[in-house]
Every structure is written in C-alpha cells, then in structure tokens.
Chains A and B, each alone.
Chain A
Amino acid sequence: MPLDPAVLEREFPEFVIEVERGKIREFALVLGFNDPVHSDVEAARAAGYADLLAPPTFTRQFWHENDENDPMPHLGYDPKRRLHGEQEFEYHKPLVAGMTIRGRNVIISTREKEGRRGGKMTFVVIETRFVDEAGDLVQVARRTLIETAAPPKG
C-alpha cells in the first residue's frame, strides 16, 4: 500500500522514559549479561557510572510507544508482511538508572522498490532522538521498517 503523505508530514508527540533499575536488571538478565555494571549499583559506581548502566539496546523497547507517538501503526503496513529490517544506535551520553529521558519519533526517509518476485517493497526509517532533563542528547536510535512485496496474484 502506498504511504499516506499525511503520515509523512505528521508530527508525533514526545514521550518519556523513566529509566528504572529494575527494568535495566531485567533487560540484562534476559540477555545474559555478565557485566555487573547493569545489575549491581556498587559495581556500576566503581566503574564510574552514577547508577546501573542500561545495556546498549535498552532504548529499543515498546513500553512507552502508543498509537499517538509512534508512526509505525500509521504506515498502513500489512502486519503479515511487516519486518524490522535494521536497527541503529548512536551513543552520546551514558544512560543510567534514575534518568528521565524524552524521545520523539520522526520519519526521516522512505523508499520503495520492486520486489524480486513482483509487488512493491516499502522502507521507512524512523529516527528517535533521546534527550535528558538538561536537554542534552543521550542517544539516537533509528529503525528501518520494511513491508515486503505482496505475493504476485494468481
């Protein structure tokens, strides 16, 4: 389905993540981290962090996302052909427990191409810039969402 131009121009509101120790510990435990900077406050401090450090992929979470602030549900993608193609992070400042960060999703690029077996593939890149309480950039995340080509009819 072709992308709705109104979605591309739409501004999505800011959202907030309160970075909690429990969530960092859970993330690190599930992914099997051995590094105590993600689970032990004393160790994190000894390593020079103010509190537990978030693992590198921590900000790619869905808890704070909803139909208001996330462009994904508005792309018109067929859920059966929707893929997360790429994910990218830029790290500007350590993300630690106790911080409150704000993010905003912006569609930064879109592209269509012919599928190998007919139909159109659509690529959308959503960028999320996360800033701390002082407005300093903490992280930039970019995800590429793909709608794979519709299978040829007949």
Chain B
Amino acid sequence: MPELLAYAKWEELTEGAEREVTIGPLTRTDFVRFAGANGDFNPNHHDEIYAIRAGFDKIFAPGMLQGGYLGRVISEWVGPGALHTFRIRFSAQAWPGDMVNCTAKVVRQYEKGGERLVEIEAEALTQSGDILIKSHAVAAPAS
C-alpha cells in the first residue's frame, strides 16, 4: 500500500503559514486530458482553429484545471476530509506554456462551536506574475 500523506495539523497552521507548489508549464495535452476527465468539451480548450476564429490567439486552459490544481494544493496540505468550503474566482486565462505557481496561506486560525478551524487563501500566478485564479477555503484540520 502506498504511504498515506502526513497532513499539517491545526496547531501548525498558524496565521501566515504557507505552502507553495509549482505546476507547469501547461501543455495542450494537459487541457485535453482534463477535458476527458471532466467532460468539458468547449472547443476553446482543445480546437485551435475554433479558438482563433472566436478571437483568441490560441486555445486556453479550462478554468477548472487551475481550480483543480488549487484544490489539490489545499487538500494535500490540510487533508481532503478537513475541507468545509472551497471557493474559486477566475481572473485570467492560462495559455499553453504558462506556469501555474500556486501559493496557499493561512489567514485565520480560530475555534468556533468547539471546532478548530482555519481560513486559507490561495492563488495561482503565471511566470510573469499575472493572477490566474484566487481561492478561499475553510477547513477543520486534525489536531
């Protein structure tokens, strides 16, 4: 059996605690594989000719690909079972060749109704510092 991941404990997730994960560079194959996984066949994500005719320079990543990456960065940090809410806001398109530099940060560590919680803000930036997406999560990591 593969070894289970050791998630961060609530006590370690003090305000300002950070996790950085670098993903990429994105390839067209990543987009197509993701389309196969989630069934989003918007041609702007796999059909270059269609995307160019629609006024884009080339195809671009489905937003939920970057959203899924941030979900992974947070869930592998605090544990997937700890997640209460996860909210993603899409800012810009990611293009083939882009890096997806993810940073997640604890912005609040607190107790509420006997539960030990953290609020996390995470964002993904390209190599040039453009924000692709921002996200927010509330989680109850194990103590």
Partner-B contacts on A (CB < 8 A): 23, 26-27, 30-40, 42-43, 46-49, 53, 55-57, 60-63, 65, 79-80, 83-91, 94
Contacts and interface: CB of A to CB of B under 8 A. Distances in A.
B8 interface: no
Contacts of B71: 31, 55-57
Given A32-B72, A57-B64, A84 B90 contact: yes
B53 to A, nearest CB: 10
Interface in B1-59: 1-5, 23, 30, 33-34, 36-41, 54-55
Interface of B: 1-5, 23, 30, 33-34, 36-41, 54-55, 63-65, 67-69, 71-72, 74-76, 80-81, 83-90
Contacts of A83: 90
Given A35-B80, A57-B64, 16 more contacts: A27-B37, A30-B33, A30-B68, A31-B37, A32-B72, A36-B1, A56-B74, A56-B86, A57-B86, A80-B55, A86-B90, A87-B64, A89-B85, A89-B86, A91-B84, A91-B85
Interface centre among B5, B34, B65, B84 (most CB of A within 10 A): B5
Contacts, number: 119
Contact of B88 (A46, A63, A88, A90): A88
Per CB-CB distance, the 3 closest pairs between chain A and chain B, nearest first, are: A62-B39, A63-B39, A56-B71
A49 B64 CA distance: 25
A89 B136 CA distance: 10
Contact of A88 (B38, B74, B86): B86
Contacts of B83: 56, 89, 91
Given A32-B23, A55-B68, A80-B54, A88 B1 contact: no
A93 to B, nearest CB: 10
Contacts of A88: 85-88
B76 A30 contact: no
17 contacts: A30-B34, A30-B36, A30-B68, A31-B37, A32-B23, A33-B72, A37-B5, A55-B75, A60-B38, A60-B67, A61-B40, A62-B39, A63-B39, A84-B64, A88-B88, A91-B83, A91-B84
Contacts of B87: 86-89
Contact of A30 (B37, B41, B67): B37
B75 A56 contact: yes
